[in-house]
Amino acid sequence: MELVNIKINGIPLSVQKDFTILEAARQAGIRIPTLCYLKGINEIGACRMCVVEVKGARSLVASCVYPVSEGMEVQTNTQKIHDSRKKTLELILSTHKRECLSCVRSGNCELQKLCRDYGIEDERHYEGTMPEPYYDSSTGVIVRDNSKCILCRRCVAACAQQQGIGVIGVNDRGFDTHIGCAFDKPLAAVPCVSCGQCIVACPTGALHEKDDTGLVWEALADPSKYVIVNTAPSIRVTLGECFGMPVGTNVKGKMVAALRRIGFRKVFDTDFAADLTIVEEATELIHRIQNGGTLPLITSCSPGWIKYCEYYCPELIKHLSTCKSPQQMFGAVTKTWFAQKEGIDPEDVFVVSIMPCTAKKFESRRDEESASGYPDVDVALTTRELGHMIERAGIDFIRLPDEEFDRPLGDSTGAGAIFGATGGVMEAALRTAAEMLMKKPLTKLDYREVRGTQGVKEADYQIAGLTLKVAAVSGLANAKKILEQIKTGQSEYQFVEIMACPGGCVNGGGQPIQPADVRNTTDLAGTRAKALYEEDRSLPLRKSHENPAVKVLYQDLLEYPGSETAHEILHTSYEKRQKY
């Protein structure tokens, strides 16, 4: 590693030769403010908030793109710099819709924080014609409000680079510049997959999910409704961030306690349905391998990935597992088996899912997801929406005692817990598939080769005389590369896991929004996933097919994995979607 010697604010430093000034300053414990910068995603020096003085340079330079060099002397906090940053903020605010009190991002807005830091007063310093406002809620999932957009382009980079989709971009020029779809079409008219990565990248309230909490409060107030809630595997290690707790804190017990205090009749665990999904998916994989079925089998848990497949590569639909996602399996089982056991009319059962994913809102509305004759899931909320509900209910989350999920749909295994991390579905399925094939208990449960936050992980496993070649992929731009190999016949995989969001559900578009300072310096996906693997190791049961409630479900209703009844309730189909 080659080093160079520089000075920042008079402090001598030795830093990597390929560092920018911004990276060097961070190494020295100096925070330079940014707005447009996201490490590895959007490094364009456009917002000018990160400007610094470099000795010998004729003007201020953008530290996020300016490389260090031997002997460089940098100042990051002079009056000239302060005045420049303050003027930049005032210019941004001159065309910004300032409704901070009612904005969904109030208190968690990077622009708002910088205005506080630099003493921006309420009155406008620059008057002029406000750009024409544009509000788009056409998808019913993602809401775009260009009156709060600051043209940082972080959403554009997340959509195009991370996800390889690029349905939003920069339109027009000069004062008319704005972010939008091609020809300013609404999002519903373009092949957006509703993954929500644009939302977690946005520094302001210009992008957010459609707020469905009102529907849940209404159902909770209706005495005729039996309102049930279930929480996805990753929520327990992210919800705490909504209340200032460290990234990766497992708050499962407090989460259950909060949901009871909100008023839900039953608080169940989506991990139960994750175990159920694995039993069905492992059965499907084995059936395809042994009976000449279409391979590779590709997982179907991520609705953003499913929508991507339907839009961009419908020729691969035959590769998709027909298993519903855990969210939808949970709803289907709740409105059939559980409703029957409790003597409740499925029409009166109202299922709420707490999910890490904005695309789950879309998935809950798919026509074919209604095993009981009613939608499997009535409302899908994000982690952020649950956080808002807890705050509105006046619940002191930090001080809550730990409580347990209700049974039987609260029973789960460690295999269900790791669903929230990229590679987790693959590992959980391998644990069950291996025992099904070998017909004896596994001695090794950890498939570490498919763990980690890398975009693509590959491995070969020898199981019962079979060589199983697998891949675990996260982020749709990474998936595109693997899909091309499958389409051209270059791939020899038998099993592929694809998650739409980089790092998996722990980094989903519905998770707590962390500012750029945190996103640029913390491995959010890795830290959150680590907590899920710790939970897996701590549980007495770590294989999905050992879940006692799943066994009872098969005895009472489904008969056996892959049965006709199981297919009627737990499996689904997909459709080719027109891109334009």
What CATH topology corresponds to 94-209? Alpha-Beta Plaits (3.30.70)
Answer yes or no: 301 catalytic. Answer: yes
What lies within 8 Å, CB to CB, of 52 at 6+ separation is 21, 25, 32, 60, 61, 63, 66, 74, 75, 76, 81
Mention the CATH class of domain 214-570.
alpha beta
pLDDT at 171 over 80: yes
Q: What is the mean pLDDT of residues 340-357?
A: 97
Write the pLDDT tens digit of every residue in 293-310. Answer: 999 999 999 999 999 999
Answer yes or no: 284 catalytic. Answer: yes
- Residue-range domain boundaries for the chain: 3-92, 94-209, 214-570
Answer yes or no: 310 catalytic. Answer: no
Structure tokens at 216: 């849940």
Report residue 573 CA to chain centroid gap.
24
For the entire predicted model, the pTM comes to 0.94
Question: Which residue in 254, 307, 324, 360 is the catalytic one?
Answer: 360
Answer yes or no: 99 catalytic. Answer: no
Question: Which residue in 280, 505, 535, 546 is the catalytic one?
Answer: 505
Question: Which residue in 280, 281, 435, 497 is the catalytic one?
Answer: 281
Answer yes or no: 505 catalytic. Answer: yes
Measured over the CA atoms of residue 186, residue 573, residue 375 and residue 419, the dihedral's sign is negative
- pLDDT for the residue 529: 97
What CATH topology corresponds to 3-92? Ubiquitin-like (UB roll) (3.10.20)
Question: Which residue in 368, 391, 404, 559 is the catalytic one?
Answer: 368
Write the pLDDT tens digit of every residue in 3-53. Answer: 999 999 999 999 999 999 999 999 999 999 999 999 999 999 999 999 999
CB 231 within 8 A of CB 354: yes
Angle CA 183–199–531, to nearest 5: 150
Q: What is the mean pLDDT of residues 101-115?
A: 95
Question: Which residue in 321, 325, 353, 544 is the catalytic one?
Answer: 321
Answer yes or no: 368 catalytic. Answer: yes
Q: How many residues in the chain? A: 580
Q: How far is the C-alpha of 403 from the C-alpha of 203, rounded, in Å?
A: 35
Judge whether 3-92 and 214-570 match in fold.
no
- pLDDT for the residue 1: 79
> Percentage of the chain with pLDDT > 70?
100
Task: Band the pLDDT of 523: cuts 50, 70, 90.
Answer: very high
